[in-house]
Copies of this chain bind each other. A is one copy, B any other.
Amino acid sequence: MIDFWYEFASNYSFLAAERVSSAAALRGVAVRWRPFLLGPILKAQGYTAPPFEQFSVKGRYAWRDTERWCERLGLPFVKPDPFPQNGVPAARIALALPEEARPDFSRAIYRAQFCEGRAIHDEKLLRDAVLAAGSEYETALETAKTDLVKDALRKATAEAESLGIFGAPTFVTSDGELFWGNDRLEEALDWERSRA
């Protein structure tokens, strides 16, 4: 099994979320979806602004690159405005949902954000995404507001940081190898299949 660490506001996490389930199934590898918050980690590592803003030339490339990837995946692409979006409510709801509902919920959030340009803290969007994942919104929302879930997100973020994660998505194999980036998905899965 690999851990798929993702941040709801991250464009490369979106691309990986689109691809991870089928790529993993193809190789017989199980995937655990691990939402976390990248912002606090980046801040602790010395970033003074969102990376694509602090390094704007790289940022421009990343958007063009995302657009090309969407084309390849047959998806429309809309750059979120503002970017990055506030991924906290979505991450809390993701952790409040039963684990098996997390992939569908997360993909719904990502598509709304990067294919339609919607704000991901919007309550109607969150509701639709929970429903798309076959869960009950009121229950998920109530659970998401509990200290238990808030704390689970803080703990997940601390765990990501302690693993040496510095970007999203990051795949972590069962023997602790990190693979950073949507473009390393296949490498992570192959590593897991051959060694773990």
Tell whether, in the assembled complex, residue B61 and residue A55 are in contact, meaning their CB atoms are under 8 Å apart: no
Q: Is A145 an interface residue (CB 8 A)?
A: no
Q: Which of A168-196 contact B (CB under 8 A)?
A: 177-178, 180-181, 183-184
Copies in the complex: 2
**Residues of B contacting A45 with CB < 8 Å?**
55-58
* Contacting residue for A55 out of B65, B68, B166, B178, CB 8 A: B166
A61 touching B183 in the complex, CB below 8 Å, given contacts A46-B54, A46-B55, A55-B46: no
**Residues of B contacting A27 with CB < 8 Å?**
none
**Residues of B contacting A178 with CB < 8 Å?**
61, 64
Q: Is A74 an interface residue (CB 8 A)?
A: no
Q: Which of A56-73 contact B (CB under 8 A)?
A: 56-58, 60-61, 64-65, 68
**Residues of B contacting A57 with CB < 8 Å?**
45, 164, 166
Q: Which of A141-180 contact B (CB under 8 A)?
A: 164, 166-167, 177-178, 180
Q: Please, could you name 24 A-B residue pairs with CB atoms under 8 Å apart, sorted by A?
A: A45-B55, A45-B56, A45-B57, A45-B58, A46-B54, A46-B55, A47-B55, A55-B166, A57-B164, A57-B166, A58-B166, A58-B167, A60-B164, A61-B164, A61-B166, A61-B178, A61-B180, A64-B177, A64-B178, A65-B180, A68-B177, A181-B183, A183-B183, A183-B184
